[in-house]
Amino acid sequence: MLVALVMGFASGLPLLLTIGLLQAWMIEEKVDLSVIGIFALVGLPYTLKFIWAPLFDRFTLSFLGRRRGWLLVAQVALILSIVGLGFSDPSKNLWIVAFAALLVTFFSASQDIVIDAYRREDLTDAELGLGSALYVNGYRVGMLLASGGGLVLADHIPFSMVYLVMAACMLPTVVTTLLAREPAVMTDTPKTLKDAVIGPLKEYFSRSGAVWVLAFILLYKIGDSMASFISTPFYLDIGFSKTEIGLVVKVFGLGALMAGTLIGGVLMIRLGINRSLWVFGVLQAISTAGFAVLAHIGYSIPMLAAVISFENLSGGMGTAAYMAFMASITNKKFTATQYALLTSLMGVPRVIGSSGTGVLAKYMGWEGFFIFCVLIAIPGMLILLKFAPWSPKETA
């Protein structure tokens, strides 16, 4: 469980080094805003990581084992690329900055592939719920350190030094990799690269209800994602100040989210993954309805705090169950590839579904839009009837 927590931190820290922190650095160096927007493309490796994931299933390095060997290589390369990004200069050569940032996201995505595979293979099905919850919490701490901590440091030391500090913060994760145990190796691991690429797809789609599971992954959190994506313009539109949003939504909300993932992990031990998906899914829908209530009431700090607390609490619980479920359905022979495919698919509704939220909110009004977000969550819940019915016999 400690390894899951630390590895979550290792995954979360690099993410915002190429988004929020790098954007702040480029603004300070007077880089044009349109160019800053184009830098979003350096995040493509996180979406395309399934392309090279089969390499980690097929090949085993000669040191530390099948998972830890690749993990050590990815982490050392990631630390060096973060240092390289710190030594680049946005005011002189943006191409070098872009290349360094792309290296960070590539090695970060590679690290994510191996960490997800390691967590699936090291934890039993009964442990996946709490392990996923601790991973998510570590991820959030890493993101908070990179964004909030990085920006605070940048007020006192140059951005180049901030990146060196962030690279140093990755060193404990390398120590964890060296000290962690290696998961047991499956006897029938892929023997050829073709088997590593085709095998995961062939095995998955040979299962009964495979398409229903993919539909569930696409739809389970779509309402929650759409509501969360456009929440900041909503808060501003109904009269909350940026300071109020920052204190209540960002700080208080983060605490509730972390509590939600922990509570969700503990409850999954008692409920099992299937029933947790039902319970947490219903709570997610109810919390989304809270936005509609806030839109109807209008400006109210106590109501804002209540809505944000409940939304983040239920969202954290739902995310923990969601990730544990995806890990549980991967075949340990193809863990890296199948999990990379599923997590890439998980990001589709966040990107595509959320892209139309502004238009929907404009024509439906805030209250109508959030009611729509509640309704659009129903199909994902109904799909559970196909492959994860509520069963009193299910145990963790």
pLDDT digits (tens, 9 = 90+) for 84-112: 999 998 888 889 999 999 999 999 999 99
Average pLDDT over every residue of 214-220: 85
d(CA 337, CA 347): 16
pLDDT confidence of 395, banded at 50, 70, 90? very low
Average pLDDT over every residue of 230-246: 78
Torsion (CA) 177, 178, 184, 187 in degrees, nearest 10: 100
d(CA 76, CA 171): 9
Amino acid at position 142, single letter: G
Ranking 81-85, 268-272, 354-358, 375-379 by mean pLDDT, the lowest is 354-358
Whole-model pTM: value is 0.72
pLDDT at res. 102 = 93
Ranking 65-74, 77-86, 207-216, 236-245 by mean pLDDT, the lowest is 236-245
Q: Residue 153 in contact with residue 162, Cβ under 8 Å?
A: yes
Instruction: Please name each of the domains of the chain with its CATH number.
Output: 2-185 (1.20.1250.20), 196-387 (1.20.1250.20)
Average pLDDT over every residue of 142-165: 85
Mean pLDDT for the chain overall:
83
pLDDT at res. 134 = 85
Q: Residue 313 in contact with residue 259, Cβ under 8 Å?
A: yes
d(CA 83, CA 87): 6
d(CA 161, CA 370): 43
Give the pair of three-digit tokens for residue 257.
Answer: 């989210």
Q: Residue 43 in contact with residue 18, Cβ under 8 Å?
A: yes
Average pLDDT over every residue of 348-373: 79
Distance (Å) of CA 14 to CA 102, 251, 263, 313: 11, 20, 26, 25
pLDDT at res. 352 = 65
Backbone dihedral angles phi then psi of residue 180, each to the nearest 5 degrees: -70, 160
Which has more confidence, 202 or 173? 173
